[in-house]
Chain A
Amino acid sequence: MKKVLVIFAHPMLEKSLTQIKFIEGLKTMPHIFFHDLYQTYPDFDVDVEFEKELLLNHDVIVWQHPFYWYSSPPLLKQWIDLVLEHGWAYGKDGIYLKGKMIFNAITTGGPNFGYEETGFNKHTIRQFLAPFEQTAILCNMHYLPPFVMHGTHRASQDERIEFANSYKQLLTDLTVNKFYLHKLTSVKYLNELIPSSKNQTV
């Protein structure tokens, strides 16, 4: 059994159409801890000790957030700045996150084909996520490919629900340790591991 920590950052959940579907029911799922950063730290004063405790107690970490300006909302960056301390998360004595798995679960308004080197965004999602990836690597964690839903601007309600279900299925599969690490790292998006999921077709 693995314990999954979902670190969720959304500054305007009231207006959300997609992310709100993703988090529906997360709180009550077994072995998953849903942690709403903007609800917990509206003043950006992240409680470092509490966050470190949470990280220690979980095996899989998820950074779940909308993909704003090719990155995360600012509170997640604040979280990274403050929580991943030198001498704890990285550096000579930074051994406490070693071996944990971590990935981004994101939603983008634009379509899949925009995120290619030939597309209008000029870079792939994975390239944009480089700072997150390298952060994880510096902390000796296993950085997994992201879970992505593209094209949320034009998505139908059914599509949103379908992606949300795939996401929750993925989290459940992770708690029961369904995939080997090499399987997890072999895909472009983690979506591919969930059979029912429409693969980034939007």
Chain B
Amino acid sequence: MEGNFLFQAFVYLLSAVIFVPIAKLLGLGSVLGYLIAGIIIGPFVMGFIGEEGEDIMHFAEFGVVMMLFLVGLELEPSLLWRMKKPILGLGGLQVLLTTVVIATIAILIDAPWNEALALGMILAMSSTAIVLQTLNEKGLMQTSAGQNSFAVLLFQDIAVIPILALMPLLAIHHEITHAANEHASTSLISNFPAWLQTLAVLGAVALIIIAGRTLVRPLLRFVAATKLRELFTATALLLVVGITVLMTLVGLSPALGTFLAGVVLANSEYRHELESDIEPFKGLLLGLFFIAVGASINFQLIIENPLLIAGLVIIIPLIKTIILLILGRSFKMGTDQNFIFATGLSQVGEFAFVLLSFVSLQGILNDETVSMMMAVVAITMALTPLLNVVTEKIIIPRIGTKELTQEIEADVIEEKNPVIVAGFGRYGSIVGRFLKANGTEITVLDIDSDRVELLRKLGRKVYYGDATRYDLLKSAGADDAKMIIIALDTPEKCLELITTVKKHFPNLQIMVRAYDRADTFKMMDEGLLYIYRETLDSALRMGVDSLKLLGHRAYRVERMARTFRKHDEMNLKKLAAVRYDQKEFISTARQSISELEQFLLADLKEVNLDKDEGWDVESLREEVQNMRFPAK
């Protein structure tokens, strides 16, 4: 028995360890890696696991519950409020329209309405994991395509909760008695009268909210005070498991309960600890869940219906793309941003697996449909990287913003600007505008096509695309320019560009924007001299104004700020030199704190802001007071 369990665990873990990295390498994302692992070890390929897959799936569904707890934790009410228009507008309409269109088509081909509706909701989901990863890798997160994709995904994440709650209502036709019986066996209150059941449900929800606010925080504080890391982890797990038990008792979805608990705790000071404690469990259990999904796909069915599957794989993303394109257009996105956005979100995502297995349990869809849909979903996910390449290389070059507009390319007298500005966002645009205001011509490289369109309209010379690409730099005149100003959106991209420039265009003087000390160190390691921490000057200006408002004289404070900056930069250099001496490994966060400590200590010792002895000197006063003047 025990040996059997260990052997199974071995098979699952081994398959994950082998296939997930391979899928990652191929740009397919970890979800597909787990699915493939499941398929390989499943009954249709190697047959290591068979019937018990079902049980494991039940267990692994707990991963979904944890995931929703984390989704709840990560919801910042302020962020939601700020993005309410794209989230509710774009996201809401995307889910609604996609559901309606797909359900309508399903009804037209003779599906019962409840099945059609369930399918519609399931297929409306996109893959948060794949899309966000792709956007981050390409540095597109800050563009309108990135922001809007994020909004839609966020709405979908939240929409899963009501959809999960809605699904049981759809289970009216087929195996309603079976489902009801199953519920009866687990739910304590199913024998109560209806009003009491409702009351119990409401009471449970209220209990979570009230307990989350009043009991859990003190409990977490108490546990945290023991400084026993594993006890905190245990408490976090207890919280999730406890809510699951409570929800099961009143016959509600555990996912809904944990999601609520997550939202309640999102503002607590223990949010990050809870997140980092639950995260690995969630990751593993979800991995297990996807392996189980992979193992449960009925390949017999797919082999028998290749055309149907192929058709669905083409039609479903197509429908989603068209709906997204229409929505993107009406939300005023530029052509290529819209295409990046629409094709990027066109796959069906990992939530679909969750929902499919849920409806399968509820008996809304039969096993054949579920199996087929799982295959379809998996294939659309697998095709996402390919589709992105098609969008990027074939569609956008034809219809979207050109890398360089024809008129400029045709210009015979190609102007050679001395400065290239890579990234014209909130930082680069200020630098660029300042240079331009002083009559220095700049060539701009930017990845946000909307911004590029705007700049071109204003007659600026702008190249569109990823500034880290050698060929783009070359056509932007990097061979003849004197200087490159690097102000891309992420430190990773900045470092990538630094490497490219140093390798291919050593003639360029590099000026780079850094984000914090960690990036600055990396850039110093690259041998750069002109590194600008984006917050330093602004923070110092605030300090200056604060002191002025507190009654300090303006000129002295201004001088102090400059002295302070010099001192800070000198300390940074010192710290950079000794940074690798530390033998023990310390985490980045700890490192940053210990660095801050060194800075604070150095402030105490070194900042002598009063050494301007030329003005009203004490020593002169003393010398004069001791002098003997001839008597009058």
Contacts and interface: CB of A to CB of B under 8 A. Distances in A.
Interface of A: 43, 45, 48, 81-87, 91-92
A85 B613 contact: yes
Contacts of A86: 613-614, 617, 619-620, 623
Contact of A85 (B562, B563, B614): B614
A86 B611 CA distance: 13
B562 A43 contact: yes
B612 interface: yes
A15 to B, nearest CB: 15
Interface string B614-632: 1101011001000000000
A82 B614 contact: yes
B614 A45 contact: no
A91 B615 contact: no
A86 B620 CA distance: 6
B614 A81 contact: yes
Contacts of A48: 611-614
A81 B615 contact: yes
Contact of B562 (A45, A82, A84, A91): A45
Nearest to A84: B614
B617 A45 contact: no
Given A82-B612, A82-B614, A84-B614, A45 B559 contact: yes
29 contacts: A43-B562, A45-B559, A45-B562, A45-B563, A48-B611, A48-B612, A48-B613, A48-B614, A81-B614, A81-B615, A82-B612, A82-B614, A82-B615, A83-B614, A84-B614, A85-B613, A85-B617, A86-B613, A86-B614, A86-B619, A86-B620, A86-B623, A87-B617, A87-B619, A87-B620, A91-B619, A91-B620, A91-B623, A92-B623
Interface of B: 559, 562-563, 611-615, 617, 619-620, 623
A41 B320 CA distance: 61
A91 B614 CA distance: 12
Nearest to B613: A85
Given A45-B562, A48-B611, 16 more contacts: A45-B559, A45-B563, A48-B612, A48-B613, A81-B614, A82-B612, A82-B614, A82-B615, A83-B614, A85-B613, A85-B614, A86-B614, A87-B617, A87-B619, A87-B620, A91-B620
Nearest to B566: A45
A86 B612 CA distance: 11
A189 to B, nearest CB: 30
Nearest to B621: A86
B146 to A, nearest CB: 39
Nearest to B559: A45
A83 B613 CA distance: 9
Contacts of B613: 48, 85-86
Centre residue among B612, B614, B615 by max chain A CB count within 10 A: B614
Contacts of B559: 45
A85 B619 CA distance: 10
Nearest to A45: B562
Contacts of B615: 81-82
A122 B613 CA distance: 36
B566 to A, nearest CB: 9
A128 B623 CA distance: 30
Contacts of B614: 48, 81-86
B625 to A, nearest CB: 13
B572 to A, nearest CB: 19
A79 to B, nearest CB: 9
B608 to A, nearest CB: 12
Nearest to A78: B614
Contacts of B620: 86-87, 91
Contacts of B623: 86, 91-92
A48 B563 CA distance: 13
Contacts of A82: 612, 614-615
A91 B625 CA distance: 13
A82 B615 CA distance: 7
A62 B620 CA distance: 26
Nearest to A47: B566
